[in-house]
Copies of this chain bind each other. A is one copy, B any other.
Amino acid sequence: MAATIRDVARAAGVSPSTVSRALSMPDVVSPVTRDRVHRAAERLGYAPNRAARGLITGRTGNLGLVVPDLANPFFPEVVKSVQARAREADCAVLLADTDEDAAAEVSLARSLVKQVDGLVLCSPRMDEEDLRGVTGDVPVVLLNRRCGDLPAVSFDNVDGMRQAVAHLQALGHRSVAWVGGPEASWSHGERLTGLRTATERAGLRLVEVGAFPPYFEGGVAAADQVVASGVTSVVAFNDVMALGLLSRLQTRGVAVPDDLSVVGVDDIPLSGMVSPSLTTVGLAKERAGRQAVDLLLALLRDPERARDARTRRELAPQLLVRGSTGVVRTG
């Protein structure tokens, strides 16, 4: 059995409460006893039982993280950084994958609520009502989504699309296709809005294709419609779909970027590894994950801050120009 606080107390010749204080409020006990306690604790390999502590403090020391689909390369990077930052703060991470199922998302979040101090909901698919329902019970930070004044770390999708269009325009393109993903997704709406605005301003023709599932197969399925539309460039909802596009285009004998320029969103690691490599709107996933945890920890310290404007952070995307975009073929 693991050593308890009473074992340490006995070994150090003090009371359990003194041990507790020596460990969690070191400046309240005399230096002498503090040292004695620390030594005894170390010798016994004592580590406090978090469950017992949580029972009385109401804090578990755990954070919950909910993601739609770990198989999408966007999410592992987020999870990785959330986990890393949480660990720095001595918090464990409870992970839940919802398989893109909004209902499962709600129930998973609900069940996590009881075991964590706070929740990071990454790209949640649930509707606003459910979102606010979950938010009532425990501090929640949204990642890659906005919902009113709820604490959130998001990306400026509109600006990302602006960058993409500026790039395509500079290459001489006069038309763009949009390959849509899940229409219920917040980021999907933002990206489409951004693309509409940017193309209109730039005087480009926009063709909207989709919705398609946000997977490789979705991109494959969209490719022929894109080709048929006669555009010279295409922006996909995300990189995974863009890779599907690339694949099908190659099968069809459509050269990228000579016949068609392709842009994705996310900057998943893979997008730099394929050939031609994929031009993409890069999102700072790692930074976002860390900031989400930071926000959550701040909220834990000071719950009143929840409505503070500083609890909403928006990260700037950065266009990464790679092989899949090129100047439009003339003649």
Q: A residues touching B (Cβ–Cβ < 8 Å)?
A: 2, 47, 49-52, 54-55, 60, 62, 65, 70-71, 73, 75-77, 79-80, 83-84, 87, 92-97, 99, 108, 111-112, 114-115, 216, 243-244, 247, 250, 269-270, 273-275
Q: In the complex, what distance in Å separates the CA atom of A62 from the CA atom of B77?
A: 23
Are A83 and B95 in contact, with the CB atoms below 8 A? Answer: yes
Are B94 and A92 in contact, with the CB atoms below 8 A? Answer: yes
Q: In the complex, what distance in Å separates the CA atom of A79 from the CA atom of B60?
A: 23
Q: Most chain-B Cβ atoms within 10 A of its Cβ — which of A51, A108, A269, A270? A: A51
Q: How far is the CB of A202 from chain B (nearest CB, A)?
A: 31
Are A70 and B60 in contact, with the CB atoms below 8 A? Answer: no
Are A71 and B77 in contact, with the CB atoms below 8 A? Answer: yes
- List 5 A-B residue pairs with CB atoms under 8 Å apart, sorted by A's residue number: A52-B55, A65-B95, A84-B97, A92-B115, A250-B275
Q: In the complex, what distance in Å separates the CA atom of A2 from the CA atom of B114?
A: 9
Residues of B within 8 A of A269 (CB): 71, 216
Are A83 and B71 in contact, with the CB atoms below 8 A? Answer: no
Are B73 and A80 in contact, with the CB atoms below 8 A? Answer: no
Residues of B within 8 A of A216 (CB): 269, 273
Are A49 and B114 in contact, with the CB atoms below 8 A? Answer: yes
The oligomer's copy count stands at 2
Residues of B within 8 A of A70 (CB): 76-77, 79-80, 83
Q: Most chain-B Cβ atoms within 10 A of its Cβ — which of A62, A112, A250, A270? A: A270
Are A97 and B80 in contact, with the CB atoms below 8 A? Answer: yes
Q: How far is the CB of A53 from chain B (nearest CB, A)?
A: 9
Are B60 and A51 in contact, with the CB atoms below 8 A? Answer: yes
Q: How far is the CB of A163 from chain B (nearest CB, A)?
A: 25
Q: Most chain-B Cβ atoms within 10 A of its Cβ — which of A87, A92, A269? A: A92
Contact of A51 among B54, B95, B97, B275 (CB under 8 A): B54
Please, which residue of chain B has its CB at the minimum distance from the CB of A60? B51
Q: In the complex, what distance in Å separates the CA atom of A149 from the CA atom of B114?
A: 37
Are A114 and B50 in contact, with the CB atoms below 8 A? Answer: yes
Are B97 and A83 in contact, with the CB atoms below 8 A? Answer: yes
Residues of B within 8 A of A71 (CB): 76-77, 80, 269
Residues of B within 8 A of A52 (CB): 51, 55
Q: How far is the CB of A102 from chain B (nearest CB, A)?
A: 16
Q: How far is the CB of A256 from chain B (nearest CB, A)?
A: 11
Contact of A83 among B84, B96, B243, B270 (CB under 8 A): B96
Q: In the complex, what distance in Å separates the CA atom of A95 from the CA atom of B81?
A: 12
**Given A71-B269, A114-B49, A273-B243, A79 and B95 contact (CB-CB distance below 8 Å):** yes
Residues of B within 8 A of A275 (CB): 247, 250, 274-275
**Given A269-B216, A273-B243, A93 and B92 contact (CB-CB distance below 8 Å):** no
Contact of A93 among B49, B87, B94, B270 (CB under 8 A): B94
Q: How far is the CB of A77 from chain B (nearest CB, A)?
A: 7
Q: In the complex, what distance in Å separates the CA atom of A243 from the CA atom of B277?
A: 13
Q: How far is the CB of A95 from chain B (nearest CB, A)?
A: 4
Residues of B within 8 A of A108 (CB): 87
Q: In the complex, what distance in Å separates the CA atom of A94 from the CA atom of B112?
A: 11
